[in-house]
Structure 1
Amino acid sequence: MERSPLFIQSFDKVMRVLEAFSQTEQYLGLGEIVALTGFDKPQAQRCTHTLVETGYLEKHPQTGRFCLGKKCLDLSFHFLRTHPLVTVATPILLQLRRDCGERTNLSLFDGTTLVYVIRLHGKREYPQFSTLMGRRMATFCSAGGRAMLAALPDDEVRAILAQSDLKPMTADTVTDPERIMVEIGRTRARGYGFVVNESAPSEVTVAAAVRDAAGRPVAAVHIAGSLTKWEPGEYEKRFSPFAVETARALSHAGAGQIQIGRGV
């Protein structure tokens, strides 16, 4: 793909080094960064040195291996504190969690994926890395993703599915595009997304789309529970009204002025 003359290649290289850490637990050596980015050793050295000097990477004093720096969190913090929907949604999601007692989340639509920006744990839930803010999930197999896709025309949905990595998350994940379209049709008819054991093992989730002033999906409200505690039909009946009502309230309270997630 031809790049614009405004594109800064050196900046792109630095960002690719940071993104390499999405594929590891914590530390990477210089050789591993070379292998993950495809850079030669001098390029990788310049990028890592720049990132250490600016605080976005930290270097272990004994091993010389690198990990993400605490300064990376600053960008996440400023994104969350300045995002109008997150600001409006935080007290509403807190009340939702108090009302239902289950994990309540808000995600933002980003085409083939959604990004969790509010994650409130259930009363008896042990937090794991998968419940952290900033996690991305595929739209095609998550309740919130299907709720947001259902708010789009079918041609846009098919374009998003064509760009998606339709990799199964569990043994029950629906990955066939035509079957996904059927599930999105059911979601559209219900007015909310509902998945059982598709996006995470032993998890049941209901979700509803938050829309902007044009009626386009910008976010989703999720309520997730455990199949060890709930029978799916009972869970859907009990919590789907909470998700739909909360999403509607957010659409009216602030999402109407937000234009994000154009999908393709």
Structure 2
Amino acid sequence: MIENITIFQEMEKFVQSSGDAGIVVFSLGSMVKNLTTEKANMIASALAQLPQKVLWRYSGQKPQTLGSNTRIYDWIPQNDLLGHPKTKVFITHGGANGIYEAIYHGVPMVGIPMFADQPDNMVHMEAKGAAVSVKFNFMTTESLRDALNMVINNKSYKENAMRLSRIHHDRPMSPRDEAVFWIEFTMRNKGAKHLRVQAHELTWYQYHSLDVLAFLLIIDLLLIVIFFKSCSFCFKRCCSRKQTKRKAE
């Protein structure tokens, strides 16, 4: 506990030392544990050329090109850092959770999508004018540096991110008030059983769709049997015709 408090205090001191330039928050998520030495050095070299301070979630070997403006951590309080007023840009892999956090706080993004839904997520953010994407396999020091400078220095990215944030915050009531309402609603209606999904009423084999699988399996077996019966019938028919022809000769 004391160690965590010390780390948070060190982070806050590092963030405050950024001055008017601000900070860059960098995380590729929990799935990417390490990078190749070449990639790590290339990324570190790009970050070292920024006037901003950088907090990078990275658990690999310390890159040789790491600049004095960059600190690496095994873990960072991502949501808290994105909500910090000094945060200028978020470098992300494009995971849904990180994108929603960035939208909530109105932080523009530089995406380095890896797999699954990440490229598609970043395409949507680019279309909204709140992000720029860099392809991981073709990324260079210059392309990453230029993407970061573009998002930081071009005010339109911040404005578009803030517009998305305003839309995200435009709710009839706050999340806390909504949670209180539904808790009280459930209590008033004795558990609100009318809102329970029908999955609770299904038998175990219906819930796991075993009846559907059994039906499809029977249909497949029936088609296979019909296919083999048809082939057998055609084969016997051909053989009988050949025998009849030979007898006639």
Fold shared by both chains (TM-score > 0.5): no
The TM-score, its normalising length taken from structure 2, stands at 0.25
The TM-score, its normalising length taken from structure 1, stands at 0.24
Using CA pairs under 8 Å that are at least 6 residues apart, name the structure with larger relative contact order, 1 or 2: 1
Which has the larger share of helix?
2
Which has the larger share of strand?
1
